[in-house]
Structure 1
Amino acid sequence: MSMFRKKRLFTILIGIIILVALIGFSLKDRANLSTGEQFVSDVIGMAQNVISIPIKYVTNIFSNVDDIRNTYDENQVLREKLAEYKGLIYEVQEIKEENEELRSLVDKADSLRAYNPIHATVTARSPERWIEQVTINKGELAGVKENMAVITADGMVGKIQSASQLTSTVQLLTGFDEFNRISATISRDEGNDIFGLIEEYDKETDSLLFKIIEESDKELKEGELVVSSGMGGIFPAGLPIGTVKEVIPDQYGLTRTALVEPAANMYEINHVVVVERLIDGEEGEEE
């Protein structure tokens, strides 16, 4: 072996020994690092910071995008749930009102012991004749006939104008004229009842005209209840028609006419009862 190779091998061996010594020295538990170790540590730390900052920035961007997407999805779900909740509230409220209305109608029907109540629902209302008539879902097959009284839980709303097999048309009190009359009375104690006729509906005063047919000095009072008398033989007795608003004497002072506010709301009619008298009555219009 040549001298040059021996020197080279010796140099490599010395380098390995020094490297092992340095490694062993660096692994020792020491309170202070050497200058070289501090330099290497600082360089590595700076490099890590330089690399980690953009990585964290990009990671935060993607994380924020995911958060925004999740928040949007959650908001969509919450909106749908809120809409469903509101819909349920409205549905429950409508069912509650409908149940109260039907319960009132059942109570009203139970009080008509001498009559046969036929429950029906309003299915149509023409805009052209909104305050004059409605269509119900019961007809002749259910026992509905012309001129039968029609009521709600609040009172009378009209009479059957025409009946087909499955449906019927109700003429509302607000569509009554001088050819449609109802025998009516104001019931009082001790036989002081006042009798008259509901003759027509006055659009100017939004009232039914109750013409008193007996000469009497009995004074009518505001708020007194006007009910059907049953004397015409078609409408049953005791059906609420309305309350007295005002009394108007004619120009000669011989007769008096009372303005009567209808007991039932003619603009909101959903469920009705058609009242069939069990006692045979006269055919034709009320007179």
Structure 2
Amino acid sequence: MPQFFLNKRLIILLVSIIILVALIGFSLRDRDELTWPEKFVKDTTGWVQNLVSTPTQYVVGLFENMKDLQNTYEENKELKKHLEDMARLEAKVYSLEKENDELKEILEIEGSIGDYDPMQATVISRSPDRLWHELIIINRGSSHGVEKNMAVMTAKGLIGKVKSVTPFTSTVQLLSALDPTNRISAALQGDKKLFGTIEGYDKENEWLLLKGLPVDAELEKDQLVVTSGMGGVFPGDVPIGNVVDVVSDQFGLNQTAYVRPSADLYKIEHVMILRRGMAVPETTADEDEEGESL
């Protein structure tokens, strides 16, 4: 009996193999139309594949979107960093361009200076608040040859004088300083040269006051005001500013001209200290300090 069942299983296996080979051969041959069992199997298989692939693709797409979002976030951070770097670079380039222009102007001024030797210096600090318009400190001192009362200017014009000196720094008193001794011997350029003294500052309009002009003198708007060089300490013909208005004094004996400074007294970065090319007699310098400071 067991032998019979063993032979029966073997026969069923062989028949199954033969049927399978026959089906494979039948399916591989060229036909114009599939049989209905093949159609059923293919449709069933396709439906199952579609049922599985749809959520699979959705999940895969979700992970891909999350990955793209993460990449976008990282790229955004990198771009923001580049934008910040670019903003800093633009600010630095602008600052360097301004500094380059100022230095070019200073070099041009140096080339036209004949009666005094210019020494370049840089502003290293400035008095805050109330004294902002009065004092600055530069990086040149007595060890560099700087002396008290030397004139200081930018490429645009005069800004003040050296008030005090240390071995490596100097304090510069600006033209706008409200100091009674802060006076400048000045001259108006024109057909007839007129002399006066810069003393006082109109803080509201940011104008200098040129006093002591003759009452009958005819002044013109935008007329150039320069140092006279008569004080014996400062060189002459250094630009100070231009006339914007003229008024008579309270007694009607003289005129006062309001002068717009040629140099920007608010923003000062690079300056020149003017050293006279010829020696100055000590008596003249002392008299100048006591009376006419510049």
TM normalised by structure 1 equals 0.91
Please give the alpha-carbon distance, in whole angstroms, between the structure 2 residues aligned to 1:276 and 1:132.
22
Task: Give the corresponding residue for 1:50.
Answer: 51
Q: 1:110 to 1:18 in 2, by over 3 A?
A: closer
Task: Give the corresponding residue for 1:150.
Answer: 152
Q: 1:13 to 1:202 in 2, by over 3 A?
A: closer
Q: Deviation per CA, 1:219-239: give whole Å up to 9, x if none.
A: 011111110000000111001
Task: Give the corresponding residue for 2:111.
Answer: 110
Correspondences of 1:122-141 after superposition (within 5 Å): 122-128=123-129, 129-141=131-143
Secondary structure of the residue aligned to 2:54 is helix
Work out whether residues 194 and 212 of structure 1, in 8 Å CA contact, stay in contact via their aligned partners in 2. no
Query: 1:110: how far off?
Result: 2.1
Work out whether residues 123 and 271 of structure 2, in 8 Å CA contact, stay in contact via their aligned partners in 1. yes
Task: Give the corresponding residue for 1:251.
Answer: 250
Q: Deviation per CA, 1:214-257: give whole Å up to 9, x if none.
A: x4633011111110000000111001111111111123321111
Please give the alpha-carbon distance, in whole angstroms, between the structure 2 residues aligned to 1:106 and 1:118.
11
Task: Give the corresponding residue for 2:91.
Answer: 90
Correspondences of 1:1-287 after superposition (within 5 Å): 8=8, 13-128=14-129, 129-189=131-191, 192-213=192-213, 215=214, 217-281=216-280, 282-284=284-286, 285=289, 287=292
Q: Deviation per CA, 1:108-159: give whole Å up to 9, x if none.
A: 1222221111111001112131001000010001111100000001111000
Please give the alpha-carbon distance, in whole angstroms, between the structure 2 residues aligned to 1:225 and 1:135.
28
Greater than 3 Å deviation, 4+ residue runs: 1-20
Work out whether residues 190 and 223 of structure 2, in 8 Å CA contact, stay in contact via their aligned partners in 1. no
Query: 1:206: how far off?
Result: 2.8
Query: 1:12: how far off?
Result: 5.6
Higher mean alpha-carbon deviation, 5-14 vs 129-138, is at: 5-14
Work out whether residues 186 and 194 of structure 1, in 8 Å CA contact, stay in contact via their aligned partners in 2. yes
Please give the alpha-carbon distance, in whole angstroms, between the structure 2 residues aligned to 1:146 and 1:179.
14
Q: 1:158 to 1:45 in 2, by over 3 A?
A: same
Work out whether residues 177 and 201 of structure 1, in 8 Å CA contact, stay in contact via their aligned partners in 2. no
Work out whether residues 215 and 255 of structure 2, in 8 Å CA contact, stay in contact via their aligned partners in 1. no
Please give the alpha-carbon distance, in whole angstroms, between the structure 1 residues aligned to 2:216 and 2:205.
25
Q: 1:249 to 1:26 in 2, by over 3 A?
A: same
Unaligned 5+ segments in structure 2 are none
Q: 1:228 to 1:35 in 2, by over 3 A?
A: same
Please give the alpha-carbon distance, in whole angstroms, between the structure 1 residues aligned to 2:204 and 2:26.
114
Query: 1:46: how far off?
Result: 1.1
Secondary structure of the residue aligned to 1:174 is coil
Query: 1:4: how far off?
Result: 5.4
Please give the alpha-carbon distance, in whole angstroms, between the structure 1 residues aligned to 2:187 and 2:53.
96
Q: 1:7 to 1:157 in 2, by over 3 A?
A: closer
Please give the alpha-carbon distance, in whole angstroms, between the structure 2 residues aligned to 1:91 and 1:212.
46
Q: 1:96 to 1:12 in 2, by over 3 A?
A: closer
Please give the alpha-carbon distance, in whole angstroms, between the structure 2 residues aligned to 1:2 and 1:210.
137
Please give the alpha-carbon distance, in whole angstroms, between the structure 1 residues aligned to 2:262 and 2:166.
28
Total equivalences in the alignment:
284
Query: 1:81: how far off?
Result: 2.0
Higher mean alpha-carbon deviation, 61-70 vs 142-151, is at: 61-70
Query: 1:7: how far off?
Result: 8.4
Unaligned 5+ segments in structure 1 are none
Work out whether residues 222 and 243 of structure 1, in 8 Å CA contact, stay in contact via their aligned partners in 2. yes
Cα RMSD, aligned residues only: 2.2
Q: Deviation per CA, 1:37-66: give whole Å up to 9, x if none.
A: 111111111111111112111111111111
Q: 1:249 to 1:3 in 2, by over 3 A?
A: closer
Q: 1:28 to 1:223 in 2, by over 3 A?
A: same
Please give the alpha-carbon distance, in whole angstroms, between the structure 1 residues aligned to 2:161 and 2:3.
136
Query: 1:202: how far off?
Result: 3.1
TM normalised by structure 2 equals 0.89
Identity among equivalent pairs (%): 46
Q: 1:19 to 1:120 in 2, by over 3 A?
A: closer
